[in-house]
Structure 1
């Protein structure tokens, strides 16, 4: 969730000035056609950028998940010995190098629609919010723009997360598998979960996911905008792209730090009952937080945060660069009627 929030902020905040051009008066039909082209370009660019970013950072993402779920079935002694290098070496030794990308196929299958829905919904929500009476006549106001970006981003995140959540759950279960293979692939996992846990089993942990959307968007956007304004006030001639990438990465680190406990609980809820195992947590979110703190300490809420930090900068950079490059390439494509 953190990555989607920070990437949306970076793309929205950074390169708009680079691509802005004087408005020209054109026939309504031509304007409509260009709008459609822009929508398709945005869907493709957002989906591909998200998939490529996730593929490049997949090893770190899998290590994050493995650390996050360790406390469910491991003893305290084992947890104390955990380290990124130790866990990566274990995965390579026991499962092979390719295992670092285990679950990446479903990650791509999830990220393509997720990123596309996220970018598309964000634009649609912004248009809708600008049409609200009282906001329409103040659309150039900084306060109104801040409100529209924040609410639009939050609603877009909720929409995308809800629409594609079963694939996110399957991704977690495939990535969490080590030596024992219970789910043989995406379709087999979807069928098995539906049969053994019911259709609602595909939505375990959705509550924690949606609770994290608002804070993640708020922190990412607030930190990003504050850092970017401060930077431009001190160094106004620096590259817009460089400033956006730097501020986006820092806002991602801040967002991850603040919302990581919710993300950890989400992963553990997604694994409840996986592979026929008995349930570990029988309470709500507050009860799960209390259980983790009692059994693993406060640091247990941040188990796996280091690989999450390490993937922030490359993840944001790859997604941002790919998205902007594809938008420029797809903008040159003209429709044939």
Structure 2
């Protein structure tokens, strides 16, 4: 495979990939945490802006747009509320990004090997490796994703007092399956998302590198390619993300979150059907605007930080080799 296509998979040791991926996840997660809380609150809001769809007649705060939701959270819950669920989310992003990049790197090397009886084109390698990496990382780290969603969905009344008490309560009340609510929707989303993201990214990167436009403000051509790829892929698969969030807050604590009128959903198709019936097509795309706003800095910071961290690690390795010689 041409070295011009992407740097994510063709250089660096497994250890370097893990360290760079974990660093990228940590930095990007902290930067976009407030937007993530806003997105989750909007996705779980089942009533329309006119409150005509309030479940069982319960009327809860209606969030309107990104700025309106931010202001309401700040007024009602304070600044720290914008980082609710950040502890499990940091663990999620650290482990997820590390697993994602190392799995993508390994899978790409295998699929591009000259020892295989067939030859895949670069786009096919990117799609398969990206989808596989996303599935492995999502399944392995899913309990942290569920905890992040439930903490972000909490209002002033605490459902879980802390991370460990939350784990204990879910285990006691819901069993192990409680940590994996919505996993089917997550994997159904991540397979096409990661495949499309890496395909778009690797296709765009050489094109953007060749453009004469000044892209430093976007974090270089790598960051720009990551932004465009993420926005395109996320828009395509977004309904499954909404389904995942709504399934994650099912269970005995369903009526205790900031939105006390969350219906009881069952399965991916059942959630999609009920959402379309009650809220229309807009319901499954609720929160898309903030998701796209979040996707841009997340992808740009993640990809840019990963490649810069990898560069630092390679320079340190080269310096050590020169010293040894």
Task: Describe the shift of the 1:276–1:231 C-alpha distance in structure 2 as closer, same or farther (beyond 3 A).
Answer: closer
How far is 1:204 from its partner? 0.4
Choose the corresponding residue for 2:33, options 31, 38, 58.
Answer: 58
Give the match for residue 141 of structure 2: 164
User: Map of 1:111-260 to 2, 5 A cutoff?
Assistant: 111-131=93-113, 133-135=116-118, 138=119, 143-228=120-205, 231=208, 235=211, 242-260=220-238
The answer on 1:304 being equivalent to 2:287 is yes
In structure 1, stretches of 5+ residues that fail to align are 1-11, 21-34
- Compared CA separation, residues 117 and 72, structure 1 to 2 (3 A): farther
Q: CA separation in 2, counterparts of 1:177 and 1:72?
A: 18
What residue in structure 2 maps to residue 43 of structure 1? 18
TM normalised by structure 1 equals 0.80
Alpha carbons 1:173, 1:274 under 8 Å: kept: no
Alignment TM-score, normalising by the size of structure 2 = 0.82
Q: CA deviation at 1:267?
A: 0.5
SS at match of 1:70: coil
Counterparts of 1:237 and 1:87, CA distance in 2: 35
Q: Which moved more, 1:316-325 or 1:105-114?
A: 316-325
Q: Which runs of 5+ in 2 are unaligned?
A: 55-59, 257-261
* Among candidates 95, 104, 123, match of residue 86 of structure 2: 104
Distance apart, 1:83 and its partner CA = 2.1
Query: How far apart in 1 are the matches of 2:7 and 2:202?
Result: 13
Residue 6 of structure 2 contacts residue 202 of structure 2 at CA under 8 Å; is this kept in 1?
A: no
Of 312-321 and 39-48, deviating more is: 312-321
1:122/1:153 contact within 8 Å kept: yes
Q: CA deviation at 1:75?
A: 5.5
State how far apart, in whole Å, the 1-side matches of 2:106 and 2:200 are.
24
1-side partners of 2:53 and 2:265: how far apart?
21
Deviations 1:105-128 (A, max 9, x none): 111111111111111111222233
Give yes or no for the alignment of 1:283 onto 2:260.
Answer: no
Query: Is this contact kept in 1: 2:127–2:198, CA < 8 A?
Result: yes
Change (3 A) 1:239 1:102: closer
SS at 2:276 equivalent:
helix
Which residue is equivalent to 2:57? none
Q: Given the alignment of the two structures, is residue 329 of structure 1 paired with residue 307 of structure 2, yes or no? A: no
Q: Given that residues 72 and 280 in structure 1 are in contact (C-alpha distance below 8 angstroms), is that contact kept between their aligned partners in structure 2?
A: no
SS at match of 1:124: helix
Residue 261 of structure 1, CA deviation: 0.6
